[in-house]
Amino acid sequence: MPILGSEVELLGVSKSRPKGTGRETGGLVLNHLNLRVEPGSFVSIVGPGGCGKTTLLRLLAGLEPPSAGHVHVGGEIVRGPSPRRGIIFQDATLFPWLSVIKNVTFGPLSVGVSPKDAEARATHWLNFLGLGKFLQRYPHELSGGMQQRVAIARAIVNEPDLLLADEPFGGLDWITREQVSEELLRLWHTTRKTFIYVTHALEEAVYVSQRVIILSARPGTVAKVIDIDLPAQRWAHADLRFTPEYAHLVEEVREVFAEQTALAAFAASSPI
Amino acid sequence: MTIWLIVLAVHNLIPQVNPGFKIPADYLSPAALLVLGITLVSWITAYFARGRRENVLAIYRVLIVLGVALIPWEVAERLAWIKPPFFPTVSKVIGVYIEDYPTLLLSIAYSMRLMIIGYVIGSIAGISFGLALGWSKHVSNWSMFWMRLIGPIPATAWIPLAIVIFPNTFSAGIFLIAFASWFPVMMLTWSGVAGVPKALLEAAQTLGADDKRLLRHVVIPAALPNVFVGLFMSLGTAFAILVVAEMMGVKAGLGWYITWAQGWSEYHKVYASMLVLGALFIIVVSGVFKVRDRLLSWQKGILRW
C-alpha cells in the first residue's frame, strides 16, 4: 500500500477581491467555507459558473492567500506555492520552448533531483500516459489532448501529496476527455495521492470521484456533499455508465447543481 | 540575359560624347560578361538540378533589376547627359573594387570592429537593464523615469559630449553605437519580461522553481522573441550611428572613407562604399537571424531569413 496523500482542511475560508480586477466583478468570492478531504481520496468540486471553484484551487495551491480563515494541507498552513501540491491548469500551460520530456523534467530538476533520475521519472510517467513516442516534440506539435496529458505528467512527476486539477479537460472533445479522465483515475489508483478535481461536467465528476462537493452560487460555500458509492476500479466495469446506480447519482448531483444555478440567476437579476 | 546584352551593347556601341584626355580603364564590359557567364552557368544548373530552381530564379530577379537600372545610367553617361564627378560612370564605380580594394577592405575591417564592439556592449547592457526593469518592481519604480528621459535622446546629440568624455574617437564611437543600440533592446526586453504569461510563472512556481530558475528557464526564454525584435531594431540605428561616428573623426572605416572620397571629389568611391555598407548590413542581419533561428527553433511559424 503506497503512502496516502495529504489531508486537506479548510476552516472558515473567505476570499474577496477588490472591485474591477480580473474577469469578475470583485467583492466576496468565497464565503466562510469549511471543507475536509480525507487523505488519499478523489474529490470533485462542481458548482455554478463564477462560484469560486478556481479561486478555491488557487488558495489550495498557494497561488493566492485567503482573505480570512485557514488552509491546511497535510497538517501545515499553506503559505505559497510548493512542489508538494501539484496543479493541472485549465490550459496545459506547457513551456513552449521546452520539448515534452524537458517540460516534465522541469519539476524534478527544480527540486534538486539528478538529471538522470529526473529523466527516468519523466519517461516513466510519459509512457504511462501513452506519450512515449513524443518525448522530443515541442508542445505546439501536439494535439490538445496530448498537451493536457503532458501537463498531467508534469504535475505528477514531482510526486505531490496533493494533486489539484482545474477543469483540465475543458478544451477537449468528448472522446479524448473520457480517455484522459480515465487515465487520471488510473493514475490516482496507482499513486493514492489526494486528488481534487474541479469540473463543469457532472457525469465526469460522478464517474471519477469518491465524493462530489457542490458549491453554492457566488459567494461560494459548500452546498452539499454527495458520497459516490461505486466500485473503485471503474474501468473494469465497462457498463458502469449505464447502470441505474450511476444514473441515480448523476441525477442527485444534477438536482443540487440546478438548484444552485437557479439561485445564482435569481441573485443576479435582483437589484439587492 | 538579353538585358545584359543590351547593357553591353549600350556601353560599347554608343560612342562616348566628350571623351576626356585620358581614356579610363573599362571595367563594365568584363563585369557584364561575368554576369552573362553567371546567367549561363545558373541556367545549366537549373536545367540539371531541379531542386535549385528557386535559388536560380532569385539570382535572375536580382540580375534583371540590376541590368534594367544600369541601361538608362549607361545611356545617359554615354551621351554625356550626366556629368562626373557627382555621377560617375558605372565602370568607375566597379573600378573602385578593383583598384582601391586594400583601402576598402581595411575600412570594412575597422568599421566592423567598431560596430561589433559597440553593438555587443549596447545589447548586453540593454538586455541586462531590460531584465532588471521587468523583474524588479523597485528597479522600475526608481529608474523608469530616467530611462525614459535619457533613452530617446538621439545618439548623435551625444557627439559633443562623447568627444570630450572619451580619450579618443574610437572609444567615443563605441559609446555612441552602444548607446544607440542600448535603448531599443532595453525597452523590448522589458516589455518581453512584462509580457511573460502569468500562468507559466505560476506553473513553474508550483513545480518548485526558485527565483533563479524562474528567471533563467522561464522569464528569459519567454522574453527572447521580443529581445530579438529589439536587437533587429537597434541594428539599424547602430549602422546609422556607425557612419556618423566615423565621419566625426575616426581615422579609418567606411564612414571615414566616404568623407575622405568626398573631399577629393571621388564620388565613384562614395557610391562604391555605400553599396558595401548595404551588403555589410545584410550580412550582419543574417548573422543575427541565424542566432535567432537557433535559439527560437521552438517557435511556431517563425519568419525565416
Q: Are residues B137 and B84 in the same domain?
A: no
Q: Are residues B118 and B261 in the same domain?
A: yes
Hey, is the C-beta of B102 within 8 angstroms of any chain A C-beta? no
pLDDT over threshold 70, residue A165: yes
Q: Mean of the pLDDT values across residues A41-68? A: 86
Domain final position from B88, B110, B126: B88
Nearest Cβ partner of B300 from A61, A106, A140? A140
Q: Mean of the pLDDT values across residues B147-170? A: 87
Give the tens place of pLDDT for each residue, B185-206.
999 999 999 999 999 999 999 9
Hey, is the C-beta of B217 within 8 angstroms of any chain A C-beta? yes
Q: Does the residue B96 lie in any domain?
A: no
Q: Does the residue B205 lie in any domain?
A: yes
Q: Average the pLDDT over each of A177-191, A258-272, B179-193, B268-282 and give the range with the smallest value.
A: A258-272
Please list every residue in chain B whose beta carbon sits closer than 8 Å to the beta carbon of residue A63: 202, 205-206
Q: What is the CATH number of the domain that holds B105?
A: 1.10.3720.10
The residue range of the domain holding B42 is 2-88
Q: What percent of chain A has pLDDT over 90?
A: 16
Q: Are residues B76 and B139 in the same domain?
A: no
Instruction: Return the residue of B nearest to A137 by Cα.
Output: B298
Number of domains in chain B: 2
pLDDT over threshold 50, residue A46: yes
Q: Average the pLDDT over each of A98-112, A144-158, B69-83, B125-139 and give the range with the smallest value.
A: B69-83
Q: Give the model's confidence band at A1: pLDDT under 50 very low, under 70 low, under 90 confident, else very high.
A: very low
Q: Mean of the pLDDT values across residues B117-128? A: 94
Q: Which of B196, B198, B201, B207 to mutate to test the interface with A (most CBs of A within 10 A)?
A: B207
Q: Give the model's confidence band at B21: pLDDT under 50 very low, under 70 low, under 90 confident, else very high.
A: very low
Residues 6+ apart with CB under 8 A from A83: A107, A110, A111, A158, A160, B206, B207, B208
CB contact under 8 A, B298 and A106: no
CB contact under 8 A, A87 and B200: no
Please list every residue in chain A whose beta carbon sits closer than 8 Å to the beta carbon of residue B296: 97
Average pLDDT of chain B to the nearest whole number: 83
Better-scored residue on pLDDT, A39 or A12: A39
Hey, is the C-beta of A93 within 8 angstroms of any chain B C-beta? yes
Alpha carbon of B186 to those of B79, B160, B174: distances in Å? 54, 24, 18
pLDDT of residue B301: 58
Q: Does the residue B123 lie in any domain?
A: yes
Give the tens place of pLDDT for each residue, A191-230.
888 999 898 888 888 888 888 898 887 777 887 888 888 7
CB contact under 8 A, A87 and B222: no
Q: Does the residue B300 lie in any domain?
A: no
Better-scored residue on pLDDT, B118 or B253: B118
How far apart CA A180 and CA A178 sit, in angstroms, is: 6
Q: Are residues B74 and B105 in the same domain?
A: no
Q: Are residues B65 and B132 in the same domain?
A: no
Hey, is the C-beta of A178 within 8 angstroms of any chain B C-beta? no
* B87 Ramachandran zone, left/alpha/beta (phi>0; psi -120 to 50): beta
Average pLDDT of chain A to the nearest whole number: 83
pLDDT over threshold 80, residue B260: yes
Q: Are residues B272 and B155 in the same domain?
A: yes
Domain final position from B88, B112, B145: B88
3-state DSSP assignment of residue A73: strand
CB contact under 8 A, A63 and B205: yes
Q: Are residues B71 and B219 in the same domain?
A: no
Q: Give the model's confidence band at A105: pLDDT under 50 very low, under 70 low, under 90 confident, else very high.
A: very high
- Per DSSP, helices labelled H in chain A are 53-61, 100-110, 115-128, 144-156, 174-191, 202-208, 244-269
pLDDT over threshold 60, residue B215: yes
Residues 6+ apart with CB under 8 A from A183: A129, A130, A149, A152
Give the tens place of pLDDT for each residue, A248-265.
888 888 888 888 888 777
Q: Are residues B146 and B20 in the same domain?
A: no
Q: Does the residue B302 lie in any domain?
A: no
Q: What is the pTM of this model?
A: 0.79
Question: Cell digits for A197?
Answer: 478535481
Q: Are residues B197 and B165 in the same domain?
A: yes
3-state DSSP assignment of residue B240: helix
Q: Are residues B12 and B130 in the same domain?
A: no
Q: Mean of the pLDDT values across residues B130-150? A: 89
Q: Mean of the pLDDT values across residues B142-171? A: 87
Q: Does the residue B224 lie in any domain?
A: yes
Domain final position from B60, B88, B116: B88
pLDDT over threshold 90, residue A104: yes
Hey, is the C-beta of B215 within 8 angstroms of any chain A C-beta? no
Kindly report the nearest CA distance between residue A143 and chain B, in angstroms: 14
CATH number among 3.40.50.300, 3.40.250.10, 3.30.479.10, 3.90.76.10, domain A21-84+161-272: 3.40.50.300
Contact A3, A158 (CB under 8 A): no
Instruction: Return the residue of A nearest to B220 by Cα.
Output: A97
ipTM of the complex: 0.83
Residue B160: CB atoms within 10 Å: 10
pLDDT of residue B124: 95
Q: Residue ranges per domain, chain A? A: 21-84+161-272, 94-159
Residues 6+ apart with CB under 8 A from B193: B130, B131, B133, B134, B135, B219, B222, B223
Q: Does the residue B304 lie in any domain?
A: no
Instruction: Return the residue of B nearest to A90 by Cα.
Output: B199
For residue A68, the cross-strand partners are A14
